[in-house]
Amino acid sequence: MRFSEMPRIGLGTSQLHGDELARVLAAGFEAGYRWVDTAARYGNEAGVGAAVRASGLPREDVWVTTKVWNDHHGYEAVLADFGTSMRELGLERVDLYLIHWPVASRDLYAESWRALLRLREEGLVDHIGVSNFQIPHLERLFAETGVYPLVNQVEAHPFLGQVPLRAFHAAHGIQTQAWSALNKGRGLDDPVITGIAGEIGASPAQVVLAWHLARGTRPITKSGKPERLAAGIAALDLRLSDAQVAAIDALDRGERGGPDPDTMELMEASR
């Protein structure tokens, strides 16, 4: 799939395995999701690939992202682990391959980025990017290779607006993707969000997804409940006013629910 055709809302698969993974992905495809986010770390690439094949959808209609984990940084290690991901997925191509975290303490992320550039040059992956990179990490990639990532997938939700990072992305043509787009349900009861939900006749979760879309961020969400998955896709049709977007922007308190990219070092094996 061309980058310009990339779906606007992604379906996450972290911590989903076996029958539950198959059930959620089948419900997600039924609801209209066409972008699945996995990672070596999630230990479910084989199940994701199987669900894509089982969907009956043409392969070119589904966007599959996977990521290399922290224990496989470095040029040769990335190339080797990409091969393992491809075998696990059992798909001919992966649409987007990301470096999951910078793990700056290892000082291997720029070398890892060179490996992603090679994979793209060789046509083994269509698009490449990073996840959880801060501005200095992105600057370093450009300084060393002259190429910015196409995507940076970072934690973002109303309590973590990522304003400086998003401005940097906009200046350098990097797409912002939001993981934990719903902050795992936290803050959906905030009066600003429930108030806008009442104004437009939508659910709080739909309001948050519509807010991501209005500010040009691509949200990735997850639910085990088919009705929530369907509601998420319906958010594509919602339009917030500038005032509603600004009111949600004002909830930003720089509050992370997940790890801090500057200190995240989890090196447990992904496989």
Ligand X SMILES: NC(=O)C1=CN([C@@H]2O[C@H](COP(=O)(O)OP(=O)(O)OC[C@H]3O[C@@H](n4cnc5c(N)ncnc54)[C@H](OP(=O)(O)O)[C@@H]3O)[C@@H](O)[C@H]2O)C=CC1
Q: Catalytic positions, please? A: 42
Closest CB to ligand X among 143 and 191? Answer: 191
Q: Which of residues 7-46 bind ligand LYEC3VGP (CB under 6 A)?
A: 14, 39, 41
> What residues contact 118, with CB distance under 8 A and at least 6 apart?
79
212 marked ligand binding residue? no
Shortest Cβ distance from residue 166 to ligand X (Å)? Answer: 16
Examine residue 269 and tell whether it contacts ligand LYEC3VGP (CB under 6 A).
no
Residue 237: Cβ within 10 Å count: 9
Closest CB to ligand X among 13 and 134? Answer: 13
CB 220 within 8 A of CB 181: yes
Q: How far apart are CA 210 and CA 237, in angstroms?
A: 8
Closest CB to ligand LYEC3VGP among 14 and 194? Answer: 14
Residue 224 contacts which entry, ligand X, ligand LYEC3VGP, none (Cβ below 5-8 A, type-dependent) = ligand X
Q: How far apart are CA 208 and CA 206, in angstroms?
A: 5
Shortest Cβ distance from residue 183 to ligand X (Å)? Answer: 5
Among 259, 260, 265, 271, binds ligand LYEC3VGP (CB under 6 A): 259
Closest CB to ligand LYEC3VGP among 70 and 206? Answer: 70
Count of residues that interact with ligand LYEC3VGP, criterion CB under 6 A: 7
Half-sphere exposure of 170 (CA within 13 A, CB side): 9
Rule CB under 6 A: which residues touch ligand X?
12-14, 37, 100, 131-132, 153, 179-185, 188, 205, 220-225, 228, 258
Residues lying near ligand LYEC3VGP in the complex (CB under 6 A) are found at 14, 39, 41, 100, 258-259, 266
